[in-house]
């Protein structure tokens, strides 16, 4: 059974039609001892099914240690939202791409408020524009030390 309602799917398809750059959802899961991994996978599969600009890449948290380290994943289920940007257009119209990882992660099923946040992040990451005010951008640009934010939410 689909998690997204038909009405929501239509709305999301309209929103995703504005996507310019592709976005990749890098999903970390594991087969055992992960109650919420299957539902997260289903949410993500439904989302990527709504736009050819959204890709899904799945890794096994227990096995793909290199990717777990590369994306600095702490637990499962986890989703990294990364931008796929073209670096040059090759002959024949194909583009060589590179990944831009802004450091955005979701831990847990992206449902409720977190689903809305995920959709917002997909749009922002695709645009490469955070939507923050000029003064916020200036303040953040002056950071000298790493800043790790953990935003705790509940689905409802």
Partner 1 sequence: MAMESELVTADAVDASEYPELADYYQVYGVPLTVANSKVRVEGGMPEPMFIGQILKGVSGMTQKT
Q: Which residues bind partner 1 (CB under 8 A)?
A: 35-36, 72, 74-75, 102-111, 114, 117-118, 124-125, 128-130, 132-133, 135-137, 139-141, 143-155
Handedness of CA 103, 80, 149, 68 (dihedral sign): negative
Tokens of 34: 């992960």
Residue among 88 and 149 whose Cβ is closer to partner 1? 149
> CB 139 → partner 1: shortest distance, Å?
6
* Least CB distance to partner 1 at residue 145 (A): 6
Nearer to partner 1, 53 or 105 (CB): 105
Q: How far is CA 123 from CA 30, 33, 147, 149, in A?
A: 27, 32, 23, 20
**Least gap, CB of 105 to partner 1 (angstroms):** 5
Taking the least distance from each CB to partner 1, the nearer of 96 and 149 is 149
* 97 dihedral zone (left: phi>0; alpha: psi -120 to 50; beta): beta
Closest CA to 79 of 16, 21, 122: 122
């Amino acid at each position: 059974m689909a998690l997204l309602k038909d009405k929501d799917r239509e709305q999301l398809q309209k929103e995703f039609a504005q996507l310019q750059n592709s976005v990749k959802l890098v999903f970390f899961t594991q087969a055992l001892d992960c109650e919420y991994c299957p539902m997260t996978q289903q949410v993500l599969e439904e989302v990527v099914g709504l736009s050819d600009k959204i890709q899904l890449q799945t890794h096994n948290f227990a096995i793909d240690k290199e990717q777990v380290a590369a994306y600095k994943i702490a637990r499962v289920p986890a989703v990294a939202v990364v931008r796929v940007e073209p670096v040059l257009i090759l002959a024949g119209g194909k583009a060589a791409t590179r990944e831009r990882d802004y450091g955005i992660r979701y831990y847990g099923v992206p449902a409720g408020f977190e689903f809305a946040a995920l959709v917002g992040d997909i749009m922002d990451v695709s645009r490469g524009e955070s939507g923050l005010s000029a003064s916020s951008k200036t303040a953040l640009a002056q950071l000298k030390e790493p800043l790790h934010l953990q935003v705790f939410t509940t689905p409802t």
